[in-house]
Amino acid sequence: MAANTFGSLFAVTTFGESHGPAVGCVIDGCPPGLPLDRAAIQAQLDRRRPGQSALTTPRQEADAIEVLSGLSEDGRTLGTPLALMVRNRDQRSSCYEDWHHIYRPSHADFTYDAKYGLRAWQGGGRASARETIGRVAAGAVAEQVLRQRLPDLRIVAWVARIHDIPAHAVPADLDRTRVDSHPTRCPDPKAAAAMEAAILAAAEQGDSLGGWLELVIDGLPPGLGDPVFAKLDAALAGAFLGLPACKGCEIGAGFAGAVETTGAGHNDPFRWQDGRLITTSNRSGGIQGGISNGMPITARVAFKPTATIMSAQDSADDQGNNVTLAAHGRHDPCVLPRAVPMVEAMAALVLCDAYLRQRGQCGDPWPDPAHAPA
């Protein structure tokens, strides 16, 4: 499959470099007749865009989406490809001229050169977080598709740890508004304040911080996903690791669950409850055998400290010389707050594709609206 396409039935192809004319995506396979809520798309893009707070890069981009195709005159999806585009505006390629021949540490400069023999040396090129605009926009569409049938669907990610600061008090009924109540997107106010201070201190020193997000998805029925290679957890992990700076993913009890308990303690007992099968614990994270079991899907996703830092670093150029690199320019001292809508978007893309695949192979999972999962 094409490397820049994600999904099989709800297939999203993104395009664009950070310093080229535009970034965007083409969504092929969107169900027809959906009244597209552009404001909902823009809302997720606004959570992703730079310049939204003191914690993010000051690059100024409104990131206003333009729909190039796929909509009827009254704004419903036609079922044909939905092309969405954002023009790049505040590019300042000149900032990068000093580094034209330098491989920035832990960036993709060298590996793109090794792969392609050339690269867009202005900014991150294709490896820039600007590429995720297409994903976030497509994910917002995917979420709308899902929500038509699953009105209680909730896909919420939040910052659960920055550097050595974990969040503790995270409410079970978290929503995006609450997540956004602090610029860190950590819903534990105390931890959020500490995180903000830590990020600003790191920025002050020209340094950066990493951390991890947590994600919960509920309102989802059992039966989504596939055996084997296309397991729902495999798809989610692959989707998240495809995000810039992501270094790990665990589902349900994850790494800790693998070593802190035994099978007797890890298994999730089934119980019938009001005619619905539930588990009384959820170490499986809502997925068993690669298929959703109707319990909340939970995951944790790690992002490394931003590779762009302002302090001097050992590095090398593309001419065989070792050099010292003193970065300048604009960057995020911590990608986590902006990664929240990216993770939600990738989750929505995985789920929407799984839903359409399920409907294709097995028939509509909830043909009778009265029996759709609530």
Using CB under 8 A as the binding rule, whether residue 247 contacts a second copy is answered as yes
Helix (H, G, I), strand (E, B) or coil at 251: strand
Question: Segment contacting a second copy (CB under 8 A): 46-54, 172-180, 181-189, 289-297?
Answer: 289-297
Question: Segment contacting a second copy (CB under 8 A): 42-50, 151-159, 180-188, 216-224?
Answer: 216-224
Query: What backbone phi and psi angles, to 5 degrees, belong to 77?
Result: -70, 140
Question: Segment contacting a second copy (CB under 8 A): 54-62, 172-180, 181-189, 286-294?
Answer: 286-294
With beta carbons less than 8 A apart as the criterion, state whether 140 and 41 touch. yes
Burial of residue 257 (number of CB atoms within 10 Å: 0-12, 13-18, 19+)? middle
With beta carbons less than 8 A apart as the criterion, state whether 148 and 33 touch. no
Binders of a second copy in range 305-324 (CB under 8 A): 305-309, 311, 313-316, 320-322
Q: Is 143 left (phi over 0), alpha (psi -120 to 50) or beta?
A: alpha
Using CB under 8 A as the binding rule, whether residue 43 contacts a second copy is answered as no
Using CB under 8 A as the binding rule, whether residue 185 contacts a second copy is answered as no
Question: Segment contacting a second copy (CB under 8 A): 52-60, 169-177, 185-193, 209-217?
Answer: 209-217
User: Measured from the CB of residue 131, what is the shortest distance to a second copy in angstroms?
Assistant: 6
Binders of a second copy in range 72-91 (CB under 8 A): 72-73, 76, 78-83, 85
Helix (H, G, I), strand (E, B) or coil at 54: coil
Question: Segment contacting a second copy (CB under 8 A): 52-60, 116-124, 174-182, 188-196?
Answer: 116-124
Interface with a second copy (CB under 8 A), residue from 241, 329, 330, 372: 241
Interface with a second copy (CB under 8 A), residue from 290, 329, 330, 372: 290
Token digits of residue 148: 């038509």
The strand pairing partners of 298, in sequence order, are 216
Closest C-alpha to 302, from 226, 220, 209, 170:
209
Interface with a second copy (CB under 8 A), residue from 153, 159, 186, 202: 202
User: Measured from the CB of residue 333, what is the shortest distance to a second copy in angstroms?
Assistant: 8
Interface with a second copy (CB under 8 A), residue from 39, 94, 177, 229: 229
Question: Segment contacting a second copy (CB under 8 A): 50-58, 150-158, 177-185, 254-262?
Answer: 254-262
Binders of a second copy in range 146-165 (CB under 8 A): 161-164
Paired sense of beta strands 246-251 and 165-166, if any: unpaired
Burial of residue 140 (number of CB atoms within 10 Å: 0-12, 13-18, 19+)? buried
User: Measured from the CB of residue 289, what is the shortest distance to a second copy in angstroms?
Assistant: 2
Interface with a second copy (CB under 8 A), residue from 54, 92, 114, 151: 114
Binders of a second copy in range 44-73 (CB under 8 A): 66-73
Closest C-alpha to 51, from 263, 361, 338, 252:
338
Using CB under 8 A as the binding rule, whether residue 111 contacts a second copy is answered as yes
Closest C-alpha to 161, from 52, 51, 304:
304
Interface with a second copy (CB under 8 A), residue from 48, 176, 283, 338: 283
Binders of a second copy in range 118-147 (CB under 8 A): 118-120, 122, 125-127, 131
Say how far apart CA 148 and CA 138 lie, in whole Å.
16
Query: What backbone phi and psi angles, to 5 degrees, belong to 58?
Result: -80, 0
Say how far apart CA 19 and CA 76 lie, in whole Å.
32
User: Measured from the CB of residue 49, what is the shortest distance to a second copy in angstroms?
Assistant: 19
